[in-house]
Amino acid sequence: MQQRYDAVVVGSGPNGLAAAITLQQAGLSVLLVEGKDTIGGGLRSAELTLPGFVHDVCSAIHPMTAISPFFRTLPLAQHGLAFVYPEVAAAHPFEDGTAAVLKNSMAATALSLGADADIYRKLMEPLVRDFPQLAPEILGPLHLPRHPLLLARFGLDAVSSAASLAKRFQEPKTRAFWAGMAAHAIQPLSNLTSAAIGLVLLAAGHTKGWPVPVGGSVAIARALADYFVSLGGEIVTDFYVQKLDQLPDARAILLDVTPRQLLRIAGDRFSTLYKWQLRRFRYGMGVFKIDWALDGPIPFTAAACREAGTIHLGNTFEEIAAGEQAAYKGFHSERPFVLLAQQSLFDTSRAPDGRQVAWAYCHVPHGSEADMTDIIEKQVERFAPGFRDRILARHTMNTREMEAYNPNYIGGDINGGIIDATQLFTRPVLRWSPYTTSAKGIYICSSSTPPGGGVHGMCGHHAAKRALRDVFGGASPLPYNR
């Protein structure tokens, strides 16, 4: 390890890797340190159940990666990364055996929505048309927009609640389909801004798709790390940072951590006001997660679900909204919204011949230690009779275990803090640049900054761009330079 670097990045999740790459692209000397013995943060895969069954420990399906302005510029295919795009990106089954589907084709998706087909097209066609220009605007902090009219049009829908937007649809099944998309916001569907993530995920499905990385989500981390090293970057693992004085000298330090860890690591460097603001940061609901090793595909009644990478289980808008509200208020729903992924249907490297893996979670109260295994499996069985008979083994993680695995998942919150109306523009505090701290040369680059959770790397990229302007005289990384 060198005695001095231009920059040190703490944490090798997708945002830490993105920050390190952005700085290294500018010709700086960069050290990336990781507390665990392997890189990746939420981008890790492992044999959690049985030998030969590869499970994604945290993130699984990657629509945000597909639309990320940062990712699209990187030559990651040259570093071993390949994606498979399921024809059915997501499916939402109903108790009558039918399903609504999200496909790349707008027409095919609209067709599955019956009488709401035209309403759906009217909502989504302008967004999909404009999305290549909008993505850089949406996936970043507040700024002077390059496309103000396009952003304003999106914002009118995005700042509304998912419940309010659902009223545009006539069919209960369309409202349920929409609820499954909006529930990725991990907050009550009655909250303002809860519509935003649903709109973005639908647009991603129609512009790119919801891809599955071949070999597991860890393949994304490995490709990013390999590219970083190819540029001259250095990575050190098993280096758990408790205080900044453990790090070698550097002109800039970027931390891929949430406010709680930031206070612990660097609080003695910060102003009283900044520390007060960090302590007021709010975390959201947690997740309870299950991975299964299966002796065959999940026997969904709806045929479309047997062809989908992602399944949203919740049946109706009202059921999903009630489950999300309950978890937010500190209660456990008997019929929670369940997000399920079937990676091995499309990536055969994940399981032995004839076998399958599946991944699922539901939202639970922050810090919950409840075992939701039976409740989640009942939800799957409800739409796939005989599912439990196919389980060979399972692995579960409650919110405390999620946090122990990845310290950024405070109380099981995988989003780096709730992104509701009060924190949408103040993550992690109210500052002109959300990536700067009150200490010169110290930056936060985690999902607790804009644009928030998801494997897109934009939090790290924007934080690194800020450090380049502040500390290094505006040196510009290539090739993406917003």
List Cβ neighbours of 32 (8 Å cut-off, separation of 6 or more): 8, 9, 12, 16, 17, 20, 39, 225, 228, 233, 234, 235, 236
Number of domains in the chain: 2
Please state, in angstroms and rounded to a whole number, the distance separating the CA atoms of residues 319 and 334. Answer: 10
CATH of the domain at 266: 3.50.50.60
Asked whether residue 98 falls in the same domain as residue 205, the answer is yes
Last residue of a domain, one of 367, 383, 405: 405
Asked whether residue 75 carries a pLDDT value surpassing 70, the answer given is yes
Residue 446 placed within a domain: yes
User: So what's the pLDDT on residue 82?
Assistant: 98
Instruction: Give Cα separations from 267 to 251, 366, 438, 442 (angstroms).
Output: 18, 24, 10, 11
Do both 163 and 261 map to the same domain? no
Q: CA triplet 266, 272, 275: central angle to 5 degrees?
A: 50
Burial of 120 from C-beta contacts in 10 A (0-12 / 13-18 / 19+):
buried
Task: With beta carbons less than 8 A apart as the criterion, state whether 221 and 12 touch.
Answer: yes
Q: Which domain holds residue 381?
A: 85-209+284-405
pLDDT digits (tens, 9 = 90+) for 344-368: 999 999 999 999 999 999 999 999 9
Same domain, 303 and 339: yes
Residue 480 in this model has a pLDDT that exceeds 50? no
Q: Measure the CA–CA gap between 242 and 261, rounded to whole angstroms.
A: 9
For the cut 80, the answer to whether the pLDDT of residue 482 exceeds it is no
- CATH number for the domain spanning 154: value is 3.90.660
Q: Give backbone dihedrals phi and psi of 79, rounded to 5 degrees, phi first.
A: -115, 25
Q: Which two tokens stand for residue 153?
A: 């049009």
- As a whole-number percent, the residues of the chain with pLDDT over 70 amount to 98
Residue with tokens 């944490």: 11
Are 58 and 122 in a shared domain?
Answer: no
Mean pLDDT score of the chain: 96
Residue of 213, 201, 77 whose CA lies nearest to 139:
201
Does residue 204 sit in the same domain as residue 89? yes
For 400-429, the pLDDT digits (tens) are: 999 999 999 999 999 999 999 889 878 999
| Higher pLDDT among residues 454 and 474, named by residue | 454
Instruction: Tell whether 382 and 427 lie within a shared domain.
Output: no
Reported confidence tier of residue 481, pLDDT bands at 50, 70, 90: very low
Predicted pLDDT of residue 456: 98
305/395 same-domain check: yes
What pLDDT is stored for residue 475 in this prediction? 67
Closest CA to 417 of 379, 447, 376: 447
**160 and 41 in one domain?**
no
pLDDT digits (tens, 9 = 90+) for 170-206: 999 999 999 999 999 999 999 999 999 999 999 999 9
Report the distance separating Cα 286 and Cα 290, nearest Å.
Answer: 14
pLDDT the model gives residue 356 = 98
Token pair belonging to 85: 């795009």
Which pLDDT tens digit goes with each residue over 130-172? 999 999 999 988 787 888 888 888 989 999 999 999 999 999 9
* Tokens standing for residue 241: 């940072």
What does R_g of the chain's alpha carbons equal in angstroms? 21
Lowest mean pLDDT among 27-41, 212-226, 466-480: 466-480
pLDDT, tens digit (0-9, with 9 covering 90-100), for 254-268? 999 999 999 999 999
Q: Convert the pLDDT of each residue in 97-130 to its tens digit.
A: 999 999 999 999 999 999 999 999 999 999 999 9
